[in-house]
Amino acid sequence: MDQIKIGKFIASCRKEQGMTQAALAEKLGISDRAVSKWENGRSMPDSGIMLELCGLLKINVNELLSGEKIMAEVYDRRAEENMIEMKRQIEEQNRQMLRIEVLFGIPAFIAAFSLILVGAFADIPEWLQAVLIAVGVTFIVVLALVGVVIEQKAGYYECQKCGYRLVPTYFRTLNAPHMGRTRLMKCPKCGERSWQKKVLTDEQEQK
């Protein structure tokens, strides 16, 4: 999506409705700085306020995402293009989150484990040994909890029995036995337990 084009379109529609950035921001319950960022193409409106924003600007979501008014005869085609682009962006965001987990998680784990080894085997005072081990263990626990957050939010888990894709709750993800990014969970659709693999998109939405 062309954020610059969308930003200019938002600014144009806002002016057509006779609103300042501050007035639009107040109606949406956000800061005028956020509106300024949209109009300068530096960010996009959150999905949670898109409908309200479109209502205030007298446009629809497809027009917002296209950055222009859409004629009736091309509306369906443009809507499909916008949906495909949104799915592509979501998939890329999920992929980047999982990359971050690996790029930062592995070095951080090595550093924390090194602290534990130093604390356990280095010829240093016992109190310092205890501190290093405690810090290392705490760091590893925090890394594991943050890693679960990333995995839970990035993409979906696919049931190997029926193919249903879901985003489980954080605690369900945390408590599920796992091998890498594959977790043993019960499918809410078919009721079967299987080793559910991490995938980046929701297949049901693509059908």
Our measurement of the distance from residue 197's CA atom to the centroid of its chain's CA atoms, rounded to an integer in Å, reads 18
- d(CA 165, CA 163) in angstroms, rounded, equals 6
Beta strands in 71-181 (DSSP E): 156-158, 165-166, 178-179
Taking all residues of the chain, what is their mean pLDDT, rounded to a whole number? Answer: 87
Q: Are residues 59 and 158 in the same domain?
A: no
Percent of the chain with pLDDT over 90: 47
State which of 14, 39, 70 marks the end of a domain.
70
Kindly list the strands in the beta sheet with 182-186, ordered across the sheet, starting from the edge strand earlier in the chain. Answer: 165-166, 156-158, 193-199, 182-186, 178-179
Average pLDDT over residues 119-134: 92
Please determine, for residue 206, whether its predicted confidence score (pLDDT) is greater than 70.
no
pLDDT over threshold 60, residue 78: yes
Q: Do the domain assignments include residue 76?
A: no
Question: How does residue 54 score in pLDDT terms, banded at 50, 70 and 90?
Answer: very high
Would residue 85 count as lying in a domain? no
State whether 121 and 23 are in the same domain: no
Same structural domain, 66 and 94: no
Shared domain check, 103 and 190: yes
* Domains in the chain, number: 2
Q: Is residue 30 assigned to a domain?
A: yes
**Confidence band of 85 (pLDDT split at 50, 70, 90):** confident
**Residues sharing a CB contact under 8 Å with residue 124, sequence separation 6 or more, in sequence order:** 118, 132
pLDDT tens readout for residues 86-117: 778 788 888 888 888 888 888 999 999 999 99
Indicate if 140 and 182 belong to the same structural domain.
yes
Domain limits at 143?
Answer: 90-206
Return the half-sphere exposure (C-beta side, CA atoms, 13 A cut-off) of residue 95: 7
Question: What is the domain-level CATH number for residue 15?
Answer: 1.10.260.40
Element (H, E) at 82: helix 75-121
Q: What is the distance between the alpha carbons of residues 160 and 19, in angstroms, rounded to a whole number?
A: 52
Q: Are residues 113 and 198 in the same domain?
A: yes
- Assess whether pLDDT exceeds 60 at residue 8: yes
Evaluate if residue 204 carries a pLDDT over 70: no
What's the whole-model pTM score?
0.56
Residues 117 and 172 in one domain: yes
- 84 occurs within a structural domain: no
What is the reported pLDDT for 74? 65
Residue-level pLDDT at 203: 56
Among residues of the chain, what percentage have pLDDT more than 70? 94
φ/ψ (deg, to 5) at 160: -80, -5
